[in-house]
Structure 1
Amino acid sequence: HDDVARPKPDPQPYQMAAAALGVAPENLLVVEDSPPGVLAAVEAGCRTLILPGYGMITADLAARAWRTVSHHDEVREIFDAHRA
């Protein structure tokens, strides 16, 4: 948070993370649980997985994300499937 000039919901945190990792934002899988975080990730161009937790994620915002899950076990299953 201290390294960014514009925190979430601005996309800068995810743009900086992608740059630091040396990858394009679209190659990042971001798991987010709040509307500002989802908006930041989507606007940065990241593949965004919503695990609702904090705040109301609107249908319009959810539609912009890659996927929405309802339980953290589903996140693990997705990571396991992509590792195989």
Structure 2
Amino acid sequence: MNEATVRAAIAEELNARGYRLGADEHAADLIGAGVNSVNLVRVLTALEERFDIEFEASGFFREPVTIARLARTILAGGGKRADG
């Protein structure tokens, strides 16, 4: 699994919810790009299931959530594994 593959998977989850972001927008804040918070949580949940990770909830939204940041977080293991 590499960063390009992970970014494509994130974009796919966003596309499934009607948000189409090009590669030039991977550093854009998803909320600023129009992704509402409910759909963003749905995307995060789908990514957790897809990659068998769990995003660290504490402080996660202190920084802009971007496709690039999500990809780095997923490749790093998401903060902790879903199974403990």
- TM-score strictly above 0.5: no
Higher relative contact order (CA 8 A, sep 6+): 2
Greater Rg, structure 1 or structure 2? 1
TM-score (norm 1): 0.29
TM-score (norm 2): 0.29
Q: Judging by fraction of residues, say which structure has more strand.
A: 1
